[in-house]
Amino acid sequence: MQPRIVLFEGGYRPGDIHVFPDQFRLYLILSEVRALRYAVGIGKPGLYQSGEFTIGRKAKWPWWRPTKAMIKRDPAAYAPFADGMRGGPKNPLGARALYLYDDEGRDTYLRVHGTNKPWTIGSAVSNGCARLTNTHISHLYDRVPIGTRVVLHEKSAV
């Protein structure tokens, strides 16, 4: 699904990003009644974290290192990368990353990023981040500055 301009009402501020996990959709609010809609993948059950954040950093072909919690959860998958991985087509953060910071200016380790596994879009398989195809994250990346507000909405209990 390509990014689309859609009707979007509800009092959201233009320039903000909103992720609705139950819809697997991310919206960049363009005006009081329009938004750019993207399909996303979200965090696995128990790893998705809702809240309000700010883009504190942006990176093209970002460097990646799994967190200690990721290594503890799945050492076979993540321990080999404990020292990190350079950006590139095999990197799980994909082509671009938007780093989400909390209200005190600290990196939360949550990201809106690309993926080297585009078939995971529309599912809950990440370690907490919102992921888009590399084409879509590049499209979004070019449209949002550092300081953009990002709202990860609550996931419904099912």
Active site residues: 113, 129
Considering only CA atoms, which of 68, 156, 55, 70 is closest in space to residue 113?
A: 55
Q: Which residues contact 11 (CB under 8 A, 6 or more apart)?
A: 32
Rounded distance between C-alpha atoms, residue 131 and residue 24, angstroms: 10
User: At residue 92, what is the residue type?
Assistant: P
Q: For residue 38, what is the enclosing H or E element?
A: strand 34-39
